[in-house]
Amino acid sequence: MRASKSRVLHRSLRETPPKAIGGEGVWLIAEDGRRILDASGGAAVSCLGHQHPRVLEAMSRQASKLAYAHTAFFSSEPAEALADKLVGHEPGGLAYAYLVSGGSEAVEAGIKLARQYFIEIGQPQRRHFIARRQSYHGNTLGALAAGGNAWRREPYAPLLSSAFSHVTPAFAYHEKRDGESETDFVSRLAAELEEEFQRLGPENVAAFIAEPVVGATAGCVPAPEGYFRAVREICDSYGALVIFDEVMCGMGRTGTLHAWEQEGIAPDIQAIAKGLGGGYQPIGAMLASGRIVDAVRDGSGAFQHGHTYLAHPMACAAALEVQRVIDAEQLLDRVKKLGSQLERRLTERFGNHRHIGDIRGRGLFQAIELVADRPTRAPFDPALKLHQRVKAIAFEGGLGCYPAGGTVDGRSGDHVLLAPPYIATSDNIDMIVDRLGQAV
């Protein structure tokens, strides 16, 4: 990092990161020629790594035909084909895809569609959403209101909607009490959700929104067995919808196309992004069940939501090819295999480390949690920003990993996330763990 002379408004206003000038498979190349092993795919984005020839070719083909046509006038071949691909084989009844430019837009589209659905079916009072603390749903104001991440929310709090409340997340490492069984933990969370419905008045709740595997706020946290089935049951009993945010954990990252497939239930609405386009183009999507879209179609007939770059043909062409490559190269099998290897190697390396409290995740979505004291799970002083330091040291050592932390819900934490490209090799996985080990 060097002092900023850049006119780009970077995340850090004090430092300009080095320029990335190239990419090759799992490697990113910095301006000084250094090769960085992209162990987090940026932020779980680059599922096919960099410069995949088939995706470049598809983008080039589309660019030579048509880069952009506004959706008020036209659909496009890649948009139609991508939507067919995304919802064509859904067992859970997701029947339509609303194609946007990223994760926050997809989440907000889902929230708005849920709200509009209830207006159309004569339940306009359903305007409340239940989310979870220690969650992240995006950084635009609506998506930020949904998330439970206190330090991100704080500066903007007066601008955020009060239509969201937050319950305890299914985060066993911190929330399960000593001696409590997993089943009792799930029952306690379900009872809390019930209480929240009662507090709000069940007839006022539109939806419950959650990440099936929590990403950036807590570091790859899957829910205990049965939790999402209990959530689905409660929502069904009160006529509320279930919205899953799979922006980070979706599109194959956990070993199944959707992370919820491993939970035995399906959502009514889902947000996807990141791995959808693999970073080749900015794209996200809101997937919705036929029941919801049909009600809106039969009602007002229009979804009151639109962006200039909806269903951008270049973005759709890139995403379509990314998904075709994942199918053709059977990469989900590879995610499962490499994911097991990554988990095993992390456990070998950090299982007895006195400052690694937890190793968790699914598939190629794994994290370690740094703690000051393992027996009590006490965190390090948040002022140390250890997750950022590990990231910086790892980067110096040629490894790109994703730091997560800060104070969430009054609790601080330091997590390092790994989300390597699905095309990684077994040797790449070993190298990731070795380099992370050195950094830690």
Positions in the binding site for ligand PMP (CB under 6 A): 43, 102-104, 107, 136-138, 211, 215-216, 245, 247-248, 273, 284
Nearer CB in complex with ligand PMP: 296/322: 322
Least distance from C-beta 105 to ligand PMP, angstroms? Answer: 7
Closer residue to ligand PMP (CB): 20 or 43? 43
For ligand PMP, the closer CB: 257 or 296: 257
CB-CB contact of 82 with 251 (8 Å) = no
CB 274 within 8 A of CB 268: no
Q: How many CA atoms lie within 13 A of 367 on its CB side?
A: 29
Please, which residue, 284 or 420, has the CB nearer to ligand PMP?
A: 284
Distances (CA, A) of 416 to 87, 174, 274, 370: 33, 17, 18, 8
Q: What is the 3-state secondary structure (H, E, C) of 136-183?
A: CCCCCHHHHHHCCCHHHHHHHHHHCCCCEEEECCCCHHHHCCCCCCHH
Instruction: State the minimum distance, in angstroms, from the CB of residue 216 to ligand PMP.
Output: 5
Least gap, CB of 273 to ligand PMP (angstroms): 5
Nearer to ligand PMP, 148 or 255 (CB): 148
Rounded least distance, CB 411 to ligand PMP, Å: 19
Rounded to a whole number of angstroms, the minimum distance from the CB of residue 414 to ligand PMP is 18
Instruction: Give the closest residue to 251 by CA, choosing from 436, 422, 22.
Output: 422
Q: Which is nearer to ligand PMP, 103 or 403 (CB)?
A: 103
Residue sitting closest to ligand PMP (CB) = 103
- In the complex, the smallest distance separating the C-beta of residue 136 from ligand PMP, rounded to whole angstroms, is 5
Q: How far is C-alpha 150 from the chain's CA centre?
A: 18
Closer to ligand PMP at the Cβ: 45 or 433?
A: 45
User: What does the alpha-carbon distance between residue 156 and residue 11 come to, in Å, rounded to a whole number?
Assistant: 17
For helices 313-328 and 331-350, angle between their N-to-C axes, nearest 10 degrees: 80
CB atoms within 10 A of CB 59: 18
Task: Give the Cα-Cα-Cα angle 189, 151, 249 (nearest 5 degrees).
Answer: 55
CB nearer ligand PMP, residue 131 or residue 206: 131
Q: Residue 30 Cβ, how far from ligand PMP at the closest point, in Å?
A: 23
**DSSP string for residues in 13-44:** SSEEPPPEEEEEBTEEEETTS-EEEETTHHHH
State the minimum distance, in angstroms, from the CB of residue 366 to ligand PMP.
15
Degrees to nearest 5, angle at CA 26 with 366 and 352: 30
Coil, strand or helix at 274:
helix
Return the number of the residue (29 or 43) whose C-beta is nearest ligand PMP.
Answer: 43
Q: Write down the least CB distance from residue 396 to ligand PMP, Å.
A: 24
